[in-house]
């Protein structure tokens, strides 16, 4: 009997063309990522049409490299996995069509994976001891979700953003202070030189929904602050703006997430998604979890931002749960977590 399960995973939901081979959901044999960031920077954000075209150009090469680096052939793979939503429809379709073609040609099962489920499962790669149940805060460019992971492949959404995602707020504020795209890593760096208490930006609470988030008011407060300085001819210290904005984001994320963990009666908490690579967020949660006696898990930064290894990890547990998709698998741009 064959013991190890090898999954070839493909991710193309936004601006990273990625492929990976993952063994038994936790061991990454290869993790190839072609980032299109440089291509989109000149437009100040991801241009969907350009992203799809670049995915088509790169995807075969990225998959070949992933197989080669892992030292396996397609014949040795047990299943082909692919992100089929949520994301940019044209970008998703490139991955889905490629995965279907490969799986069909090689006579392998096909497993469609939810992108956010992938982000959560990135924690299984970095933290071999982590097992459900636990609470996970997913903070990315498109999503801000507080999730109770009840079992492998089983999720309960406790809260979500009512407007902008955390990463979206980072990107918009970065653009306003002239840092360019993608803003998250740039704000992270600049904030280290600023005073987080310089400007008292608001911490929004959503009435009757203690686990929900709202970042559009914070984003507007930053834009208003910048406008009013300009009108009054007062100088702006971009490092102070970055640090004060980040302080507000960190405060809201830590307060809500820790409250959810404590009220859940669990003592395991994880973060995931591109924004989870933020140094201030990682250290604030490390400190707060230490004080509260909560065990804190986070993926390595390379598994926080979009990658295919996390899709390979999620697919392994779906595979073990018997999930198989048909040749009619389609891209679903607004796929909900927990839907198949
Ligand atoms: O998870 P991800 O790669 O893509 C989505 O699924 O959306 O997340 C991308 C987001 C972008 O908004 C980017 O600015 C943000 O993650 N990000 C960061 C950092 N690195 C990436 N935000 C804050 N600090 C960072 N160090
Ligand atoms: Zn993502």
Q: Are residues 51 and 164 in the same domain?
A: no
Q: Are 82 and 115 members of one domain?
A: yes
Atom of ligand 1 lying closest to residue 280 CA? 24
Residue 74 burial by CB count (10 A; 0-12/13-18/19+): exposed, middle or buried?
middle
Instruction: Give the position, in ligand 1's atom list, of the atom nearest the Cα of 277.
Output: 26
Residue 211, domain member (yes or no)? yes
Q: Tokens for 195?
A: 């005073």
- Looking at the fold, whether 70 and 213 belong to one and the same domain comes out as no
Distance between Cα 306 and ligand 2 center (Å) = 5
Give just the sign of the alpha carbon dihedral 193, 196, 202, 203.
Answer: positive
Task: Looking at the structure, tell me whether residues 140 and 249 fall in a common domain.
Answer: yes
Residue 126 is encoded by which pair of tokens?
A: 């970095």
pLDDT of residue 152: 97
pLDDT for 257 beyond 90: yes
Is residue 180 domain-resident? yes
85: left (phi over 0), alpha (psi -120 to 50) or beta: left
Of 44, 114, 191, 305, the one to substitute when testing ligand 1's pocket (max ligand atoms within 8 A of C-beta) is 305
List, for residues 118-163, the tens digit of each pLDDT value. 999 999 999 999 999 999 999 999 999 999 999 999 999 999 999 9
Predicted pLDDT of residue 177: 95
Looking at the domain assignment, is residue 125 inside a domain?
no
> Is 274 inside any structural domain?
yes
pLDDT digits (tens, 9 = 90+) for 237-251: 999 999 999 999 999
Confidence class for position 340, pLDDT limits 50, 70, 90:
low
Distance from Cα 275 to the centre of ligand 1, integer Å: 4
109 in the same domain as 60: yes
Q: Do the domain assignments include residue 198?
A: yes
Q: Is residue 75 very low, low, confident or very high in pLDDT (cuts 50, 70, 90)?
A: very high
Give residue-wise pLDDT tens across range 26-63. 999 999 999 999 899 889 889 999 999 999 999 999 99
Q: Examine the domain organization and report whether 137 and 275 are in the same domain.
A: yes
Q: What strands, in cross-sheet order, belong to the sheet with 27-35?
A: 27-35, 16-23, 6-11, 79-85, 110-114
Q: How far is the CA of 189 from the centre of ligand 1 (A)?
A: 13
CA of 131 to the centre of ligand 1 (A): 25
Contacts of 22 (CB under 8 A, 6+ apart): 6, 7, 9, 28, 29, 125, 309, 312, 313, 315, 316
In whole angstroms, how far apart are CA 272 and each of 72, 140, 147, 194, 220? 29, 8, 11, 26, 26
Task: Report pTM.
Answer: 0.97
Nearest CA to ligand 1 atom 2: 274
- On whether residue 325 sits in a domain, the answer given is no
Residue 327 within any structural domain of the chain: no
pLDDT of residue 139: 98
Least confident range of 203-207, 229-233, 255-259, 298-302: 203-207
Q: Which residue's alpha carbon is at the smallest distance from atom 13 of ligand 1?
A: 184
Query: Are 261 and 312 in the same domain?
Result: no
**Tokens in use for 202?**
């608001």
- Give mean pLDDT, residues 301-306: 98
In the reported structure, the alpha carbon of residue 31 is separated from the centroid of ligand 1 by a whole-number distance in angstroms of: 18
Q: 3-class DSSP state for residue 68?
A: helix
Name which residue sits closest to atom 8 of ligand 1, judged by CA.
274
From the CA of 302, how far away is ligand 1's center (Å)? Answer: 11
Is residue 287 domain-resident? Answer: yes
**Residue 148 and residue 271 share a domain:** yes
**Centre of ligand 2 from the C-alpha of residue 199, in Å:** 30
At 205, the pLDDT band (50, 70, 90 cuts) reads confident
Helices marked H in the chain: 37-41, 48-70, 89-106, 115-126, 166-176, 183-191, 216-232, 238-264, 279-292, 301-304, 309-320
Residues 229 and 282 in one domain: yes
Asked whether residue 2 carries a pLDDT value surpassing 80, the answer given is: no
Q: Are residues 24 and 99 in the same domain?
A: yes
**CA–CA distance, 218 with 231 (Å, rounded to integer):** 20
**What CATH number should be reported for the domain holding residue 227?**
3.30.420.40
Asked whether residue 309 falls in the same domain as residue 294, the answer is: no
Q: Which of the listed residues 16, 31, 184 should we mutate to test ligand 1's pocket, taking the one with most ligand atoms within 8 A of CB?
A: 184
Q: State both tokens at 320.
A: 């073990």
Residue 1 has pLDDT above 60, yes or no: no
CA dihedral defined by 293, 309, 188, 127, rounded to 10 degrees? 20
The residue to mutate among 31, 36, 139, 170, having the most atoms of ligand 1 within 8 angstroms of its beta carbon, is 170
DSSP characters over 210-226: TT-B--HHHHHHHHHHH
Number of domains the chain contains: 2
Which atom of ligand 1 is found nearest the CA of 167?
Answer: 12
Q: Supply the residue whose CA is at minimum distance from atom 14 of ligand 1.
A: 184
Please state, for a pLDDT cut of 90, what percent of the chain lies above it: 94
Per the prediction, the chain carries an average pLDDT of: 96
Of 150, 125, 123, 128, whose CA–CA distance to 7 is shortest?
125
Q: Are strands 79-85 and 110-114 parallel, antiparallel or unpaired?
A: parallel
**Domain residue limits at 286:** 132-298
Distance from C-alpha of 119 to C-alpha of 32, rounded to nearest angstrom: 16
Contact residues for 215 (Cβ-Cβ < 8 A; gap 6+)? 144, 161, 163, 164, 165, 166, 168, 169, 204, 249
Nearest to 320 by CA among 73, 26, 21, 12: 26
pLDDT value of position 293: 98
Q: Which residues make Cβ contacts (< 8 Å) with residue 333, sequence separation at least 6?
A: 85, 86, 87, 88, 89, 92
Dist CA 253 CA 294 (whole Å): 16
DSSP annotation of 30 reads: E
- Distance (Å, rounded) from C-alpha 104 to C-alpha 33? 24
> What residues are in contact with ligand 1 under a 6 Å CB criterion?
14, 140-142, 167, 170-171, 182-185, 188, 273-275, 277-278, 305-306
Please check whether residues 150 and 186 belong to one and the same domain: yes
Give the distance (Å) from ligand 2 centre to CA of residue 283.
21
């Amino acid at each position: 009997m064959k013991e190890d399960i090898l999954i070839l995973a493909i991710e193309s939901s936004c601006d990273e063309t990625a492929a990976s081979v993952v063994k038994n959901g936790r061991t990454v044999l290869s993790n190839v990522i072609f980032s299109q960031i440089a291509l989109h920077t000149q437009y100040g954000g991801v241009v969907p049409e350009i992203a799809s075209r670049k995915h088509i150009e790169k995807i075969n090469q990225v998959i070949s490299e992933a197989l080669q680096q892992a030292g396996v052939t397609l014949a040795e793979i047990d299943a082909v996995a692919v992100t089929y939503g949520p994301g940019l429809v044209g970008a998703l379709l490139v991955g889905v069509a490629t995965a279907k073609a490969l799986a069909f040609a090689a006579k392998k099962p096909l497993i469609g994976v939810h992108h956010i489920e992938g982000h959560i499962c990135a924690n299984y790669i970095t933290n071999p001891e982590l097992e459900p149940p636990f609470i996970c805060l997913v903070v990315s460019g498109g999503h801000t979700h507080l999730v109770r992971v009840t079992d492998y492949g089983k999720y309960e959404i406790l809260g979500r953003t009512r407007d902008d995602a955390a990463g979206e707020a980072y990107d918009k504020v970065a653009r306003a202070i002239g840092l360019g795209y993608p803003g998250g890593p740039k704000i992270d760096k600049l904030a280290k030189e600023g005073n987080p208490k310089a400007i008292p930006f608001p911490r929004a609470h959503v009435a009757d929904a203690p686990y929900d988030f709202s970042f559009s008011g914070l984003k507007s407060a930053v834009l208003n602050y910048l406008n009013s300085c300009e009108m009054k001819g007062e100088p702006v210290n971009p490092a102070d703006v970055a640090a004060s904005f980040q302080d507000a984001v960190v405060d809201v994320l830590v307060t809500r997430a820790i409250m959810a963990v404590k009220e859940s009666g669990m003592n395991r908490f994880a973060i995931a998604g591109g924004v989870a690579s933020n140094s201030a967020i990682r250290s604030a949660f490390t400190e707060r979890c230490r004080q509260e006696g909560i065990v804190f898990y986070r993926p390595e930064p390379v598994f926080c931002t979009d990658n295919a290894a996390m899709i390979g990890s999620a697919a392994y547990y779906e595979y073990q749960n018997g999930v198989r998709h048909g040749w009619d698998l389609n891209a679903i741009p607004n796929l909900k977590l927990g839907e198949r």
